Structure 1
Amino acid sequence: MNPLSQTQSTLVETLTSDAYRQLEHAASLKGLLKPFKGKGELEHLAQVAREIEAQLCHLMEAVMQQAAQPPYSLLDIRMVLQNTSAGSTFLRWRTRDFARMGVAVLERQVCNRALPPAVREGLHRFECDRIALNLQMSVVHSLYRQATTCAIKISSADRLLRQFTTAVEVSQ
């Protein structure tokens, strides 16, 4: 008998509003759409983005751990965290032997006619969570990079103004 069909519960616990509640308070866009009064506010925005990235990583780990439970652990597919050279983390699908990676790995499993419908639906839920979390991570990481870059540029502009002002005072 197929061990996948013997599994009692294949219900996937999706990411709920409770899982995101803490993120909602930190991630308000109203703090982004305002005039920034200096590099300090931009550095703060970058810090908040980093904190949100860490929280998103925890959500990603929770989804990954759930995907590692039976009946999904019996499949030739794994959800893994991949750290990028840019410093962010994304959820990826991989074969058990790590020979292949990507959505094609998931598609192959979902199209397996021997897969019970409940397992197929669970994989679909994991994929939807993966897509949403990767989007959120990408946006927040981009915000972090942009805020950090802008803080550096403001610091350079401040330094230029100080140098000019000092030069003018010395020449008078």
Structure 2
Amino acid sequence: MKIYALIPENMYRDLAAKHNINGLMRNFFGELSSPEEINLLLEQIRIARDGMIANYPTIVRNITDTLVGTLPLLLYRDSASSAGSVYLRWRNVENNKSGQKAWENIVSDVSYSDKVRKSLVQIEKERLVLNMQVSILTSIMRQLSECAEKMEKIDELFQGGEHI
């Protein structure tokens, strides 16, 4: 029995090759001594995060084209986040409310096939990981932005004091 997976098989390999995530993390934990360096890293992390999010339409479309797509549950891209990012969420098709309860009901209902239930469990685990990864990158971006702003203020204060 093939269990459906949410994340495309080569997504992480392709992201690592295209965006050098490991290198970005090394730079993040390396010496950052100027606002310019921080802003450069911020932009690189934004591009990597947006690269992950760019996979969402394919992920959502692939789900819709499976047996899971016949359930009263919809996986969608939620861009209404206060963090300014995009996350994958479940929506209950029957009442257009949050789909978490509907997801729980389907997974615990033995009248659904094991294949459907196991696929939903796998999809949910992968959805949680993707959302966590995007959230962490978004948080890093926010911290980098705040750090760059503070460094710029320090530089301005120092330069202003030189003219006294």
TM-score (norm 2): 0.87
| 1:160 partner SS | helix
8 A contact 2:8–2:59 mirrored in 1? no
Deviant stretches of 4+, over 4 Å? none
Within 2, Cα distance between the matches of 1:80 and 1:153?
Answer: 37
- 1:93-152 superposed Cα distances (whole Å, 9 cap, x missing partner): 111145321432211111222211111111111101101100100100001111111111
For 2:35, the equivalent position in structure 1 comes to 39
Tell me the CA shift for residue 65 of structure 1. 1.8
Compared CA separation, residues 80 and 10, structure 1 to 2 (3 A): farther
Please tell me the root mean square deviation across aligned C-alpha atoms, in Å.
Answer: 1.9
Matched, 1:110 2:107: yes
Partner of residue 26 from structure 1, selected from 20, 31, 34: 20
Larger radius of gyration: 1
Matches within 5 A, 1:111-130: 111-130=108-127
Compared CA separation, residues 13 and 102, structure 1 to 2 (3 A): closer
Within 2, Cα distance between the matches of 1:124 and 1:81?
Answer: 19
Partner of residue 44 from structure 2, selected from 48, 58, 65: 48
Tell me the CA shift for residue 16 of structure 1. 5.4
Q: Percent identity?
A: 23
Amino acid at match of 1:80: Y
What residue ranges of structure 1 are gaps of 5+ in the alignment?
A: 1-8, 168-172
Compared CA separation, residues 74 and 22, structure 1 to 2 (3 A): closer
For 2:140, the equivalent position in structure 1 comes to 143
Matched, 1:81 2:77: yes
Within 1, Cα distance between the matches of 2:62 and 2:42?
Answer: 30
TM-score (norm 1): 0.83
| 1:124 partner SS | helix
